[in-house]
Structure 1
Amino acid sequence: MRVVIAEDSVLLREGLARLLDDGGIETVAAVGDGPSLVAAVAEHDPDLAIVDVRMPPTHRDEGLRAALEARTLRPGLPVLVLSQYVEERYAADLAGGGAAPFGYLLKERVADVTDFLDAVRRVAAGATVLDPEVIDRLLDRVGGPLGSLSGREHAVLALMAQGRSNSAIAVRLAVTEGAVEKHISSIFAKLGLGHAPDDHRRVLAVLAYLGL
Structure 2
Amino acid sequence: MRILICEDSVLLREGIARLLTDAGHDVVAQLPDATALEAAIAAHDPELAILDVRMPPTRTNEGILAAIAIRARTARGGVDRPRVLVLSQYVEERYAADLIASSPAGFGYLLKDRVADVRDFLAAVEQVAAGGTVLDPEVVSQLLARRRRDRRMERLTPRERQVLALMAEGSSNQTIADRLYVSAGSVEKHISAVFQKLDLEPEDGNRRVLAVLAHLDAPHPDDHSDASGGIR
Aligned partner of 1:152 among 138, 153, 159: 159
Aligned partner of 1:192 among 199, 206, 210: 199
With normalisation by structure 1, the TM-score equals: 0.86
In the TM superposition, 1:2-151 aligns within 5 A as 2-75=2-75, 76=80, 77-98=82-103, 100-142=105-147, 143-151=150-158
Q: Tell me the distance in 1 between the aligned counterparts of 2:45 and 2:151.
A: 40
With normalisation by structure 2, the TM-score equals: 0.79
**Larger of the two Rg values belongs to structure:** 2
Identity of aligned residues (%): 57
| Runs of 4+ off more than 4 Å | none
Considering only aligned residues, what root-mean-square deviation do their CA atoms show, in Å? 2.4
Describe the SS at the equivalent of 1:35. Answer: coil
Q: How many residues align?
A: 210
Seen in structure 2, the aligned counterparts of structure 1 residues 47 and 157 have a Cα distance that, compared at 3 Å, is farther
Q: Tell me the distance in 2 between the aligned counterparts of 1:27 and 1:208.
A: 36
* Structure 2: gaps (5+ residues): 220-232
Seen in structure 2, the aligned counterparts of structure 1 residues 24 and 160 have a Cα distance that, compared at 3 Å, is farther
Seen in structure 2, the aligned counterparts of structure 1 residues 2 and 87 have a Cα distance that, compared at 3 Å, is same
| 1:63-83 deviation per Cα after TM superposition (whole angstroms, max 9, x unaligned) | 111122223443344221111
1:54–1:63 contact (8 Å) kept in structure 2: yes
1:122–1:163 contact (8 Å) kept in structure 2: no
2:7–2:33 contact (8 Å) kept in structure 1: yes
Describe the SS at the equivalent of 1:86. Answer: coil
Describe the SS at the equivalent of 2:199. Answer: coil
1:80–1:123 contact (8 Å) kept in structure 2: yes
Structure 1 position 127, deviation (Å): 2.6
Q: Give the equivalent residue in structure 2 for 1:172.
A: 179
